[in-house]
């Protein structure tokens, strides 16, 4: 079976109603989300604190598709099993989170999840050149991690370099931060296939009025596919 490189929209629940995560996950999936992006922050690797494995386990039954867990924590290794047992399909660690990223990625796969590696804006593509056989996803940060609603930082040349580095390997390129219908075309053209979006998806909607979620997801997908008018 060929690798699915079609555009996938992964809303980030960082922009959702924290008091209603389960219903929010169901709402965005019903409105067309392909994956659900879950931002885990420890107040140490990034200057913000969100939630941990217990919250991931609590929302898992409300997600039919892919639970995409983005770990902005350091260290990572002590928590991998907990997130895998919580039901994460993809677990992404930052290459900047510690000196042993290769071991971390092996541990993620050994725990039964797909292994992702994330790159902060200041980290070059070459940082993952030795990891091609150990990863299933590369997350290119287009904001400095820690908060939603930030301004998009252009990483087009890094995305192109990674797309070339990957070749035919079954590795997703995920873009995270400031993605909306304006910024989606350039990252898709550069080779990205998973687009994370928080504020641009949850804007204007709610669990009781989810239709704007669908409009926003469609607008980003159409922009990425070059059909947005």
* Site for Zn ion, rule CB under 5 A: 39, 70, 176
User: Which of helix, strand or coil describes residue 83?
Assistant: helix
**Choice among 42, 68, 176, 193 that is catalytic:** 176
Backbone angles phi, psi at 209, to 5 degrees: -135, 75
Residue 148 binds: one of Zn ion, ligand DX5, none (C-beta under 5 to 8 A by kind): ligand DX5
User: Does the annotation flag 12 for ligand binding?
Assistant: yes
Strands, sheet with 172-176, edge to edge from the N-terminal-most edge strand: 8-11, 194-197, 172-176, 137-141, 114-119, 90-94, 66-72, 35-41
**Choice among 39, 68, 89, 136 that is catalytic:** 39
User: Does the annotation flag 147 for ligand binding?
Assistant: yes
C-beta of 2: minimal distance to ligand DX5 in Å? 28
Q: Mark whether 176 is an active-site residue.
A: yes
* CA 99 – CA 182 distance, rounded (Å): 36
C-beta of 68: minimal distance to Zn ion in Å? 8
Closest to 55 in 3D by CA, of 86, 10, 12: 86
Residue 14 binds: one of ligand DX5, Zn ion, none (C-beta under 5 to 8 A by kind): ligand DX5
Binding site for ligand DX5 (CB under 6 A): 12, 14-15, 37, 39, 70, 143, 145-146, 148-150, 176-179, 196-200
* CA 102 – CA 71 distance, rounded (Å): 16
Active-site annotation, residues? 39, 176
């Amino acid at each position: 079976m060929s690798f699915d490189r079609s555009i996938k929209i992964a809303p980030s629940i960082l922009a959702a109603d924290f008091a209603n995560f389960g219903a929010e996950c169901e709402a965005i999936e019903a409105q067309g989300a392909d994956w659900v992006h879950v931002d885990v922050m420890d107040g140490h690797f990034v200057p913000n604190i969100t939630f941990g494995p217990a919250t991931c386990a609590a929302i898992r039954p409300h997600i039919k598709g892919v639970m995409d867990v983005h770990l902005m924590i350091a260290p990572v290794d002590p928590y991998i099993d907990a997130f895998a047992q919580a039901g994460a399909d993809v677990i992404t660690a930052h290459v900047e989170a510690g000196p042993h990223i290769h071991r971390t990625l092996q541990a993620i796969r050994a725990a039964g999840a797909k292994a992702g590696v994330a790159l902060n804006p200041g980290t070059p593509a070459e940082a993952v050149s030795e990891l091609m056989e150990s990863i299933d996803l590369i997350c290119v940060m287009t904001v400095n991690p820690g908060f939603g609603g930030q301004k998009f930082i252009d990483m087009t040349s890094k995305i192109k370099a990674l797309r070339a580095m990957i070749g035919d390997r079954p590795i997703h390129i995920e873009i995270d931060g400031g993605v909306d219908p304006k910024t989606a075309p350039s990252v898709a053209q550069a080779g990205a296939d998973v687009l994370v979006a928080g504020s641009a998806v949850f804007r204007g909607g709610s669990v009781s009025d989810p239709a704007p979620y669908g409009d926003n997801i469609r607008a980003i997908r159409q922009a990425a596919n070059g059909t947005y008018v």
